[in-house]
Structure 1
Amino acid sequence: MKTVIIGGIAGGLSAASQIKREDHGAQVVVLEKSGDVSYAACGMPYNLFYKDKPVEDLYAMSLEAIRKERGIDYRLHNEVVTIDPLRKEVTVVDHQLSREYRESYDYLVYATGNQPNRLTLPGFDDADVFYFKTLDDTRLVKSIIYEKSPSNVILIGSGYTNLELVDVLYNMKIKPVILEKSATILPSFAEEIRAKVLEKLEEKGIKLHTNVDITEKQGSVVRTTTRDFEAGMVVVSIGVRPNTALFSSAGGELGVGGAVKVDRFLRTNLPDVFAAGDCAEHYVRQLGRNGYMPLGPVANKQGRLAGSNIVNSNAMKEFYGIDQTAVFKFFDLTVATSGLSERQLQENGANYVKVYVDTSTRGAFPGGGTMRVLLLFEEGTGLLLGGQMIGQDVVAKRLDVLATGIYKQMTVFELAELDLSYSPLYSPVWDPLLIAANKAIKYV
């Protein structure tokens, strides 16, 4: 059995590794168009702190280990340009050897990831404009920071990536200014959570400009319909879109958000072709249908399942889905979410109740902080629908407890009964989650 995998970062390497894990004799060819092996993209902003720390430290494993220890034929700088589903072969350009060749397959895994949305306005193809998406982007940004020492940076867009960069660059003494086209930031978060992020921006003296329509970049000046902004460097992060042109041109069907349409087994409409990761749809358990939320853990889980289903084609398993859990750091705050957002609940006409509490994170022990816990639950039953948190100290731990409760379809009554650990070093006697659950019970 021979499997060809297009894309070797998260989903692609996970699929390849799982195939070899379950079938040592399988032939697995990974075709990766970049010069980097699988890496932890979420660590890229924090690599900027360290001038002499190579971005290659973010590799999941070395090319030699992938080839020798896992027995995977992993080819860098090999770009697939066409897929022929009838002949079951792909056409590949080897950019290092400047040659084109064909590679046949029994199974194909499409794991091409996504790409950043780009500004097509004048001046945004300049060398000092970056789309912080790949390791090459990280290399370029580091070179600008340490060679040209910009005093400020214009960050266009206010999603997770740019907010993480705000934190990093501010602490590197580079003044960040955020330009956002929408009326606010973090649209998937409730107002009560978003307000805390805005408070932190104000506390740090970081300028956020919303409802901004950019017209062009001229030299070091970013022009908008209201005013001009001087930029030592520009980072654009205005969302991503799945890399599906290659798949679509081969007759592949697209689904939510233009991602590759997959069934619960991660099969596509093309024969013996699976898809995984940031290029594919993701089944959302609570909605009972596919969505699109490209995150590293999802890509790795889908890749592993796709690989296992290829080996076990007569006993395939369904992808169990996601609960839209995510977390990011913003200065001394952790911002986290799991389950359905308030916006999703409103769009689906759900009868829900929202409560939130502000509480300390520890007992009588130094080093703690405060946090806000927000719960979304079904009116009348108390079924957990979603939750969000923001605060200092051990926020992510509580978020993971909540994510588990959502997965197990717990109610706020059951959440309030959880026997959570207590020590003043880690929690007050009443854990913040329990305080929020007990408040929620009053509103069911």
Structure 2
Amino acid sequence: MAPNTADTALWPAPHASGAVDATVHVPGSKSVTNRALVLASLASEPGWLRRPLRSRDTLLMAGALRAMGIEIEEGVGPDGTGEAWRVIPSGLRGPATVDVGNAGTVMRFLPPVSALADGPVRFDGDPRSYERPLNGVIDALRQLGARIDDDGRGALPMTVHGNGALEGGTVAIDASSSSQFVSALLLSGPRFNQGVEVRHTGTTLPSMPHIRMTVDMLRAVGAQVDTPESGGEPNVWRVSPGALLGRDLVVEPDLSNAQPFLAAALVTGGKVVVPDWPSRTTQPGDRLREIFTEMGGSCELTEYGLVFTGSGSVHGIDVDLGEVGELTPGIAAVAALADSPSTLRGVAHLRLHETDRLAALTKEINELGGDVTETADGLHIRPRRLHGGIFHTYDDHRMATAGAIIGLAVEGVQIENVATTAKTLPDFPDLWTGMLGA
């Protein structure tokens, strides 16, 4: 697995000279922003997104929806304060071309939307996007009546031939490789003539919190959704056909993007405050409170936000991350600095993310002197004294932030292409050095 050489600029990861003590305002959630953009585009009336995340993935989503005829105006909110996007659902149309970059939410959420467009919509993206599984969405849409040209690849590039409507109905898919296959169909389901019933046929289903997020957001805009948690059949979700409401939605901070900053408090024995941490959320990043406490920290959720404090010791952990796989790189980085071994389980699907994250973490931590081995579904990490060196990112934002965490405790770590963090966390280098008081 060769690192991408398109951007080989090296960023010297700052080394912490003492305990971190900072307040970090984490930008909005990518997962919430991109789901909200889709739902607002399918609504029957205009809506507002307040404090949206502006990152590569969300700007790709907004650009794709604009290409299909949706009006998205950038400005301030209806109360005259704060950044906001006004979404005006003015009808979906083709021909259009969508650049998905390497954004899973764009490449998976928008093909069902494009099936409702009046005309063809072509999907293309970064070279890595061609390798990421899309067959779950493609096969499902064909079962529901859509016509798609993908030359039999089950992956990008492809063209969806929209005819203004989709019949919908029952569809069986294997979403073992990505919960986004389920979310993609549910988000557009209210606009299908018969709604949609999604039956997951696989043996595992990763990232369930993201499906719960999709369901909560659908219900908030007026959709009727039946789920296994609400008394329905296991692994079956039903969305009834109906109009969606325009909403005035305030986007929560991205709790998964808070991870490196909380990790900084943990590995330096310091304190980090994240304002506006929600008291109730479906974001997977909320599990960090539990996981990082077990690894040696403590946290308090106040009216202002989350206060996380490191104890000066970092402990290993044995944890199933199947529902929160995106947290794995940051947890692996902390585990490499712990005082005892760690086993991270339930994340075989990470081999299909922005890069093969299990192989990448193993290679990069070991090249700094670590002792990481891959298992069938995760990593085993035996802490060793680490040394400086180049930490490659493979165009993966969470690899870059993992390297930054290690760099706090290990002098001489240089991160290749730290700019890849702009995918979900714009201005990460400035936020990071600001946290350290630089």
What range describes the TM-score normalised by the shorter chain of this pair? Answer: under 0.3
TM-score of the superposed pair, with normalisation by structure 1: 0.27
Which one has a larger percent helix, Structure 1 or Structure 2? Answer: 2
TM-score of the superposed pair, with normalisation by structure 2: 0.27
Which one has a larger percent strand, Structure 1 or Structure 2? Answer: 1
Structure of higher CA gyration radius: 1
Higher-RCO chain (CA-CA 8 Å, sequence separation at least 6): 2
